[in-house]
Amino acid sequence: MGYPLVGESEIREAFRRLAVRLARRHVVGDVCVYGGAAMILAFQARRATRDVDAIFAPHGIVLEEARGVAVELGLGRGWLNDAVSVYVSRVTDTDQPHVFDHPNLRVRSASARHLLAMKAHAARAFAPDEQDLVTLIRRLGLTSAAQVEQICLEVFPDEPLSDHSRLVVADAVAAAVST
């Protein structure tokens, strides 16, 4: 996707404008962010991302108003998207921090455990994802690949890590504990 990079202030402004638009419609939206946006908003671990991967409700209204925000702010049409929904665990994430609150928009982030499991399963070998894994491993105080794998099995009980994911996790653990 050729979207411009957005940082914390741009994401918060987009959410503020989305909340105002929802208020005009007398709607309260709920959003849970994942990926780079979660790393930015919940963990202050990244400076920018291309989009905000999320699950949201009410789906149609939030999506429609998010597209209006995109026009207002010059963001890509899919700045807020739900493409991540196919990768989210069915195990309830009970530790989601609130990252933005407004009477018409509540935004939470996936927990560090769920993000870690998602990042480990994706095992994408590019700088932001690799650093995200290291950050989450440190944040959770993990010191071994076995600990990471255990969390992955708790979050995705029917999906063991691939051999490739295990290698990426081992490298991330080594990087996390070496400094």
Q: What's the predicted TM-score (pTM) here? A: 0.93
pLDDT at residue number 179: 67
Q: Is 89 helix (H, G, I), strand (E, B) or coil?
A: coil
Q: If you ran DSSP here, which 8-state letter would residue 61 be given?
A: H
Q: Cα(30)–Cα(149) distance, rounded to whole angstroms?
A: 30
User: How far are the Cα atoms of 14, 72, 156 from residue 120, in angstroms, in the given order?
Assistant: 29, 36, 11
Helix (H) or strand (E) holding 107: strand 105-109
pLDDT tens digits in sequence order for the chain, 179 residues long? 456 789 999 999 999 999 999 999 999 999 999 999 999 999 999 899 989 999 999 999 999 999 999 999 999 999 999 999 999 999 999 999 999 999 999 999 999 999 999 999 998 766 688 899 999 999 999 999 999 999 999 999 999 999 999 999 999 999 999 96
pLDDT at residue number 2: 58
